[in-house]
Amino acid sequence: MRQDAHEIEVAAPLVLAGYTSYLLRRAFTQLSRANASGAQPRDYVLLGVLAEDNACSQQDLAERLGINRTIMVKLIDRLEGADYVTRRRNPEDRRSYGLSVTDAGRKAMRDMEPAVAQSEQRFASALRAGEQQRLNSLLRKLVPHLSDAPSHRTGYLINQAHHAQRRRQDDAMAAVGVQTRHFSALAVLSTAGPCSQQQLAHQLGITEPAVVLIVNELVAANLVHRGRDQHDRRRYSLGLTTAGSDRFATARPAYEAVQAEVDATLGEGGAAELRRLLTKLLR
């Protein structure tokens, strides 16, 4: 998923580095890139998400994994052609599809398991054995419903913890009229703006085409203004509008409430340790 995920390696911006859900997203996407030696690891990630959440829509799956929607349609077409996934129209919204993993898809996941596990272990090599065990233990507490989850599989636990936190984050953001992917951009611009689109992309660790899509949506919502950089007319300068500042101020407590849930689950010391280990893993 090197290009699909639109992610590049860069340290998390300070304004977001204290949020477990943000670090999990970065770890998940970086793990997906580490697995991107071919279609098999990518298929494993897609099937794994669907196995945990049958009837997930294509749009929701694209949002969770940070994959372009057009690319997602092609990926699902191929998985459906291999009889790994079934795609049915949502009776409540005929424009969307619900996705389910077939028995053949679950068997394919089991066949992919050894190669993916080896790749995940390479990804976790930045941690000492004791640190990796501690990371796994903390992640397991965030996904207690996975009673049969292999406790030694750091990559698997990161995937599942990320999706669990993303669902919770999406719900919290929806309540205040902000999408999760927009919050990160608003957060960076609240401290780093005005800045160029290139600088925003670097801060968020995503590619410039990916940040253009986010910025276009924020400009259309009158949350961000985009003008020419007075020092380089070839570049755009981005900043929050008054409405953008107000929306960020409204959204921040909702975003932090999800972090407070993590703190309550792990204890403040455990939550801080999890952030430290995830940060070390990313570096």
- pTM of the model as a whole: 0.74
- Flag whether pLDDT at 247 surpasses 90: yes
Cα–Cα distance for residue pair 167/136, rounded to 1 Å: 20
What are the structural domains, with CATH classification, of the chain? 35-121 (1.10.10.10), 180-246 (1.10.10.10)
* Mean pLDDT computed over every residue of the chain: 84
Residue given tokens 């403040």 in the structure block: 268
Give whole-number Cα distances, 263 to 19, 132, 250, 256, 270, in Å: 10, 20, 21, 10, 7
Distances (CA, A) of 188 to 8, 178, 211: 16, 15, 12
Q: Is the pLDDT of residue 252 over 50?
A: yes
> Is 98 within 8 Å of 55 (Cβ atoms)?
yes
Tokens 């997906």 -> residue: 32
36: pLDDT confidence band, cut at 50, 70 and 90? Answer: low
Task: Dump pLDDT digits (tens) for 143-176.
Answer: 887 655 555 688 888 888 988 898 899 899 999 9
pLDDT in tens, 88-138: 877 767 667 789 999 999 999 889 888 888 887 888 888 998 999 999 999
Q: Are 196 and 235 in contact (CB under 8 A)?
A: yes
What SS3 class is residue 223?
A: coil
Tell me the C-alpha distance between 39 and 115, whole Å. Answer: 12
For residue 1, what pLDDT is reported? 34
